[in-house]
Chain A
Amino acid sequence: MRIALFITCLSDALFPRAGQATTALLERLGHEVVFPPAQTCCGQMHINTGYQREALRLVEHHADVFADADVIVAPSASCVGSVRHQHATVARRFGRPELADRSAAVAAKTYELCEFLVDVLGVTDVGAYFPHRVTYHPTCHSLRLLRVDDKPLRLLRQVRGLDLKQLPDADQCCGFGGTFALKNAETSSAMLADKMANVLSTRAEVLTAADASCLMHIGGGLTRLSAGSRTLHIAEILAATDTADGRPTR
């Protein structure tokens, strides 16, 4: 299968490892991976902050860039959520039904990585090896927008050497919320404090999730406190093998 990577602006600029791991994993599973270089950003931050007119350009650009792709995979539940649940609505809001149709067509072939592995490729054992204690945070958009359910956990359970710990109150939001983290920084931090307490209670070395954005938030809190747990995108764990264990080199 020829898979077009939708890398997302955050992963492109700040977390390229999540994208590199996604590439490595999909190639290891025998698929051709392409990166349409004109891609930029899905516009979710604009939409969720109230700037839909500005987002309209990005919605249109995204629909153009991915129009010809067979299937699109992104290492981000929330960006996939935006493409699937917001793009056509934005187009319609500005009287662009033809764009709404094109956006809907792109959305129909766009998948979050874990969804793609389990639902489309039908695999749960991706041949990964990761000998560490891990806990998993189901991000709000993976859980309640995409309804990925326990797919990421099914993938993690098949990883050799991985000691999976249940995260208490896992379905509680970490407090990121995009620009919420700036506009309501104190409330965001209060939510983060509880999430970190739950993560630390598992004594996991690694906290993983399907969104680099939420991990940037929780991870930023953990390193600030020198808490001793680190964050890794789930793609990095699933891509790790016994020749390269995915431990960050930075």
Chain B
Amino acid sequence: MSQVFLGMPAHAPADVRALHGTQPFPAAARTALADSQLRRNLGAATATIRGKRAAAVAEVDDWEQLRFAGQQIKAATMARLDEHLIRLEQAVTERGGTVHWARDAAEANRIVTELVKAAGADEVVKVKSMATQEIGLNEALAEAGIAAWETDLAELIVQLGHDTPSHILVPAIHRNRAEVREIFLREMPGVDPDLADDPRELAMAARTHLRRKFLTAQVAVSGANFAVADTGTLVVVESEGNGRMCLTLPPTLITVMGIEKVVPSWADLEVYLQLLPRSSTGERMNPYTSTWSGVTAGDGPQEFHLILLDNGRTAVLADDVGREALHCIRCSACLNVCPVYERTGGHAYGSVYPGPIGAVLTPLLTGVLDNPTLPYASTLCGACFDACPVRIDIPSLLVHLRARSTELRAERRLVPTSEAVAMTVASWVMSKPRLFAWATRAARLGRLIARRGRIRSLPPPLSAWTATRDAPEPPTSTFREWWLNGKERS
């Protein structure tokens, strides 16, 4: 068990595997970039969602005001998060639910496992949930001999394919229908061997498979998109209806929710339920919005447990710049518009949270030194900020985390990298105009290796540039020389 000291918020422990990749981003990206099938699947899927989102957003006259409202409500909520969480706990308890607090993944997994065992079950059905992915719940349950069945279609594809999700909303975005058919034929018990790769047929096969699970499972596990503190109401937003089956059929319901998902009142939902569907799936309204408050006699689950998960979130809250990442409503719009994500896919990020938000949220949760390459997995092009329905300034957060990373290295007296040395020297030279003028003139030496106006090969680290791009031949005189020599044409 991890130790938490008052006043020192803890990061997510290093054994939370779903937040730690096995390779640095550039190496993992290299593998993904070489996969032509993946590139085509992702390119097609993200382009389609981008188009749908753009059309859905363009219909709303006050979209920018809605984004501002979404940003402000989250900021105000985070400023009093402790109070809202306690109000939520009270309201849920009053309505017959039980609230548990989990400081990290291990604690949350232990609570869920004990609850499932107490219900006498050896399997659970699951509503698609990022929080349970983050804590590796399925693996923890499997170790305790409990089978977890994913019921979201895309999540089911990932689970049957012994794969990991590569997108927040469309976890099987890296698969096309031919691949899905193959996975179903191989892994789905009792599937029709003549199954075609037609989307409807594939969905029907999944439906038959899942229906059996819905009707027999005694326990359901879900995440939550929002929780209303005023009334203790949990909200799950999904588009298949499978989530609703899980939320209503099994007698016991366990919800694992990150503490940042609380909103003060129902009026706040009005904003997010407009922002979320248009940003995520490009739909005007979400198809299945389930809300429940505690338990209701004779209707739905008769036992309800809410697990409030920290797992690094209070450490994020303690970072006065980084805390903005907690505003995320997991719509995935930033992934779909990201030129890096579109080419590398989600697995390269090594975290359940990929794409632009993953590149900030993951290192914020684990501590940036545990995920040092993620803040650099971006060109800072800014497309994510423009798409984000709650206006999270992801490029600025990336720049902030890059700074934190070099500062922490310096504080811990880690050996300076050659990059750090070069940057220090460069900033010193650049702050001295005469030295700077000399250095820019010295660049002219590059002319010696230039041929026909370009340089085809440079030594490391610049060889990374010239592997695919020529470098320009330095000019015969710098701008400064031209100016000081009376602007003579050189």
Contact = CB atoms under 8 A, between A and B. Distances in A.
B383 A188 contact: no
B143 to A, nearest CB: 36
A114 to B, nearest CB: 18
A53 B407 CA distance: 9
Contacts of B383: 140, 144, 171, 173
Interface in A40-63: 40-41, 43, 45-55, 57-58, 61
Interface residues of B, number: 68
Given A14-B472, A182-B465, A49 B423 contact: yes
B427 A173 contact: no
A220 B472 contact: yes
Interface size class of A (residues with CB under 8 A): 35 or more
Interface in B261-276: none
A71 interface: no
Contacts of A184: 25-26, 29, 340, 376-377
25 contacts: A12-B440, A15-B475, A40-B430, A43-B427, A46-B423, A48-B380, A49-B402, A50-B375, A54-B423, A54-B427, A55-B427, A58-B431, A61-B431, A173-B339, A175-B379, A177-B381, A180-B380, A186-B33, A187-B343, A216-B472, A219-B470, A220-B454, A220-B469, A221-B469, A223-B454
What's the dominant secondary structure at chain A's contact region?
helix
A15 B472 contact: yes
Interface string A184-227: 11111111100000000000000000000000110111011000
Given A48-B402, A185-B467, A39 B433 contact: yes
B481 to A, nearest CB: 8
A250 B469 CA distance: 19
A17 B479 CA distance: 8
A241 interface: no
B447 to A, nearest CB: 11
B343 to A, nearest CB: 5
B40 to A, nearest CB: 13
Nearest to A217: B469
Interface of B: 25-26, 29-30, 33, 339-340, 343-344, 373, 375-383, 385-386, 396, 399, 402-407, 419-420, 423-424, 426-428, 430-433, 436, 439-440, 443, 453-454, 456, 461-462, 464-465, 467-475, 477-480, 482-484, 487
Nearest to A51: B423
Interface string A3-19: 00001010111111101
B402 A50 contact: yes
A16 B427 contact: no
A136 interface: no
A181 B380 CA distance: 12
A183 to B, nearest CB: 5
Contacts of A229: none
Interface of A: 7, 9, 11-17, 19-20, 23, 35, 37-41, 43, 45-55, 57-58, 61, 86, 89, 93, 140-141, 143-145, 171-173, 175-192, 216-217, 219-221, 223-224, 250
B25 A11 contact: no
B230 to A, nearest CB: 37
B381 A144 contact: yes
What's the dominant secondary structure at chain B's contact region?
helix
Contact of B479 (A19, A186, A223): A19
A128 to B, nearest CB: 19
Contact of A40 (B433, B461, B471): B433
A51 B339 CA distance: 25
B418 to A, nearest CB: 12
Contacts of A48: 380, 399, 402
Nearest to B407: A53
Contact of B430 (A9, A141, A189, A219): A9
B462 A50 contact: no
Contacts of B443: 13-14
A186 B436 CA distance: 31
Contact of A182 (B454, B464, B477): B464
A38 B426 CA distance: 16
Contacts of B404: 50
A28 to B, nearest CB: 13
Contacts of B378: 177, 180
Given A12-B479, A220-B465, A140 B427 contact: no
Contact of A185 (B428, B465, B480): B465
Given A38-B433, A40-B436, A48-B380, 11 more contacts: A40-B431, A41-B430, A55-B427, A140-B383, A143-B382, A144-B386, A177-B379, A184-B340, A184-B376, A187-B33, A224-B456
